[in-house]
Amino acid sequence: MPVVHVNVWKGFEQEKINYLIENLTKVFVDLDIPAEAVEILIHEVPQSHWGIGGVPASEKFKGVEIPGWKK
């Protein structure tokens, strides 16, 4: 059945991860897929390994506070 991969920066708050797991599952349940058949995988990627516009996110967002993310 459905397997959903979600990539987030390392340090994403556990509360937010739990929210994603619960609510992404609900989307599929609304499509009549049993919750037990839905798998959600959260992948934490260091900002230094995540490029945006040719620049690592660790540089692009240096000094910027991002809600839901702990450095």
Question: What are the contacts of 26-35 at 24+ separation with CB within 8 A?
Answer: 28/2, 33/1, 33/2, 34/1
pTM: 0.84
Inside any domain, residue 26: yes
44 SS3 class: strand
Predicted pLDDT of residue 71: 63
Which listed residue (2, 34, 56, 67) is catalytic? Answer: 2
Contact 41, 6 (CB under 8 A): yes
Express each pLDDT in 15-47 by its tens digit.
999 999 999 999 999 999 999 999 999 999 999
Given pLDDT bands bounded at 50, 70 and 90, which one contains residue 65? Answer: confident
Q: 36 lies in a domain?
A: yes
The whole domain housing 13 covers 3-60
Query: Which DSSP category does 54 fall into?
Result: T
User: Tokens 């230094």 identify what position?
Assistant: 48
Mean pLDDT of 62-69: 80
- In the chain, % helix, strand, coil (3-state, to 5) comes to 35, 30, 35
In a domain, 65, yes or no: no
pLDDT over threshold 80, residue 69 = no
Domain count within the chain: 1
CATH of residue 18: 3.30.429.10
Is residue 67 part of the annotated active site? The answer reads no
